[in-house]
Amino acid sequence: MSDPEQLVTAALFEDRDLADEAWGRLAQADIPASVITEPGIMGAYRLNVMVHREDLDEAQRLIADLIP
């Protein structure tokens, strides 16, 4: 992915499998995406699925059913 300042969070997950599924769907749709892990309290973590701002609406549509 290019310029990190142009990236926005399409979804947040606590489950790595769901984040990977979201990334896979976006990759199949030719939407560039990254999964960024943020550490949390007491070993917990959050997974951010990041996309370019111009792809946000389409990305969220494609992964909406994965978001808890």
Report the run of H or E that residue 34 belongs to, with start and end.
strand 33-39
Instruction: For the chain, give the number of residues.
Output: 68
Q: For residue 43, what is the domain's CATH number?
A: 3.30.70.790
pTM of the model: 0.86
Domain range for residue 10? 4-66
Q: How many CB atoms lie within 10 A of CB 65?
A: 9
What's the structural domain count of the chain?
1
Identify the pLDDT of residue 53: 95
CB 43 within 8 A of CB 33: no
Q: Environment class of residue 20 by beta-carbon count within 10 Å: exposed (0-12), middle (13-18) or buried (19+)? A: middle
Give tens-digit pLDDT for 16-67: 999 999 999 999 999 999 999 998 788 888 999 999 999 999 999 999 999 9
